[in-house]
Amino acid sequence: MRTSRHDAAGYCRIQFVTRTDEHVYNRKEMKNMKKERQVTVEVPKTLLRISKQIWGTGWAYFYALDALTFGITGKPFADWCSVAVMTDSVKLVSKSKAFKIKVPRQFTRFYLLHHVPLIQTVNGNRILCTLRIRDT
């Protein structure tokens, strides 16, 4: 929503506002929110079949599989690549007990990850992230 106001000199000031169910954010708050909120996926290493050939490369590969699901692998996966709407890769951060994977910005925006919780499923060396949609 855009609102405009004229000051005493006649200049028009435009204020950009975004509405959510909980709060109304102005432009300054939205900038701060973007800086603070980096969406990450954290997966315990015990759930993955760890091998240096797959997760030892230091990269995580993202695949947008459909409107509700994206996949993450430790090496390029041709089957997902052929059906993915978009792909991306990010540096992998390895903690002692888990991998911490930063979700690329384009995936965060496409899936609205700031507003929707994720369900993570691990199958072998692949991670599927599905949006949890509320029933109405």
Q: How many whole angstroms separate alpha carbon 101 and alpha carbon 59? A: 9
Q: Give the distance from CA 100 to its chain's centroid.
A: 13
**What pLDDT tens digit does each residue of the chain (136 aa) get?**
444 444 455 544 444 444 444 455 556 665 655 554 688 998 888 887 766 667 777 899 999 999 999 999 988 999 999 999 999 999 988 888 888 899 999 999 899 888 888 899 988 889 999 998 876 4
Taking phi first (over 0 means left), then psi (-120 to 50 degrees means alpha), and beta for anything else, what does residue 112 get?
left
DSSP state of 65: -
> Quick one: tokens of 98?
């888990």
The pair of structure tokens assigned to 110 is 């496409």
Q: What is the pTM of this model?
A: 0.70
